[in-house]
Amino acid sequence: MKQRILIVNSGGDCPGMNAVIRAVVKRAALESNWEIIGSIDGFDGILSSPYELKFLDEKSVSGIIVKGGTFLMTNNKRNPFNYPVKQSDNSIKYTDVTDQLIKNLKDLNISSIIHIGGNESHKISYQLSKKGVNIVGVPKTINNDLSITDYSFGFQSAVQIATEAVDKLVTTANSHNRVLILEVMGRNTGWIALHAAIAGGADVCLIPEIPFTIEKIIEKLESRYSIDGRGFANIVVAEGARFKGENLALSPGLIAREITARLKEKNFNHDIRETILGHLQRGGVPMAFDRILATELGVKAFETILEKKFGTMTIHKNGELTNIPLEKVIDKNNKIETTHNLIQTAKGIGISFGD
């Protein structure tokens, strides 16, 4: 009998997820005795009755490398340790369904899982591996916030989209003597904001790692205007950026507006407009870099299963594809150090961090 691997996506979608799945399937096809099965919509596919699973052969993954999103779908609200189970009165009870999951895997003769996900997802991978599930993780995040891997696919595509947004906002800011604020993703880390600010030529970059004051922002903005009010400025702010000395943690989509409100409170009298880039950053065609990285990780994940190195994650470290134990992955955000060369570069061209 052939050996079966289940592929499960978790968390938000990310350009390159399809390329990982395609790579696993194509690599497995080079061996004679493997079958790859996709779980539709995260763990739902393997946990639902009837199952929602898709047998994946080379034909079924043909052409998907260029496609954004993920054709298997994904879900960030289906933790099998705390899974929403519908009760007879239609209410939802959060329940640990991992015993059921393990039983379903056994019933279907599935011997291992490749789990594609971010930080939160791999806490689940680790817990499952502790329960005896043969699992291999693949890191995925547009935010580049997994510290254990040098790169994560999806990030370069998101940076490109954010940079193109800055490019467009620069011309409209210039045409109207305005301040344009662009809010980009990054709850815990400011990698997208930092890259887009440098590449797009922004004047102010606000990131979670460097708390800012409104006074410092005004100082920079005013320097962009002449006495007669001519001038313009562009701000790139990560959704998780924070005011210095405050515990205010705003939900995504609110920080740009809060900055505008505070600028007005301080009588900053130039015109201001905000743009929230949101989920545009997760969509569209993955860049070549992300497709290649995702393909590398997919091939490596399959080979990791061949080598029976379960309970690990495939990563890129110091130019090499390797594996690390899942327990090392947990809870480590890839924060930008204030000494990072890109912060120094940004400061070196006059970008203000509001600090």
Q: Which residues would be at the binding site for ligand F6P (CB under 6 A)?
A: 12, 76, 142-143, 185-187, 239, 252, 282
Nearer to ligand F6P, 40 or 193 (CB): 193
What are the residues whose beta carbons fall under 8 Å from the beta carbon of 336, sequence distance 6 or more?
Answer: 189, 190, 191, 194, 207, 209, 342, 343
Nearer to ligand F6P, 38 or 186 (CB): 186
Q: Please identify the residue of the shown chain whose CB is closest to the bound ligand F6P.
A: 185
Nearer to ligand F6P, 26 or 140 (CB): 140
- Least spacing, CB of residue 315 vs ligand F6P, in Å: 18
- Least spacing, CB of residue 143 vs ligand F6P, in Å: 5
Task: Note the helical H segments in 177-319.
Answer: 191-200, 214-222, 255-265, 288-306
Amino acid at 73: M
Beta carbons of 162 and 196 less than 8 angstroms apart: yes
- Least spacing, CB of residue 300 vs ligand F6P, in Å: 23
- Least spacing, CB of residue 15 vs ligand F6P, in Å: 12
Residue 91: both structure tokens together: 């209410």
Helix (H) and strand (E) counts in the chain: 10, 13
- Least spacing, CB of residue 7 vs ligand F6P, in Å: 20
Distance CA 321, CA 11 (A): 23
Nearer to ligand F6P, 78 or 282 (CB): 282
Give φ, ψ of 111 to 5 degrees: -95, -15
What is the C-alpha end-to-end distance of the chain, expressed in Å?
62
Tally the C-alpha atoms within 13 A of residue 17's C-alpha that lie toward its C-beta. 31
- Least spacing, CB of residue 249 vs ligand F6P, in Å: 12
Nearer to ligand F6P, 105 or 124 (CB): 124
Nearer to ligand F6P, 239 or 296 (CB): 239
Number of neighbours of residue 348 by Cβ within 10 angstroms: 9
- Least spacing, CB of residue 4 vs ligand F6P, in Å: 30
Nearer to ligand F6P, 28 or 193 (CB): 193
Q: For tokens 């390159």, name the residue.
A: 16
- Least spacing, CB of residue 161 vs ligand F6P, in Å: 12
- Least spacing, CB of residue 193 vs ligand F6P, in Å: 11
Nearer to ligand F6P, 143 or 234 (CB): 143
Number of neighbours of residue 345 by Cβ within 10 angstroms: 12
Q: Give the C-alpha distances (Å, rounded to integers) separating 224 from 170, 268, 350, 354.
A: 13, 13, 11, 15
Nearer to ligand F6P, 203 or 239 (CB): 239
Task: Note the helical H segments in the chain.
Answer: 17-29, 44-47, 98-107, 119-130, 155-176, 191-200, 214-222, 255-265, 288-306, 341-348
Give the orientation angle of helix 214-222 with respect to helix 255-265, to 10 degrees. 80
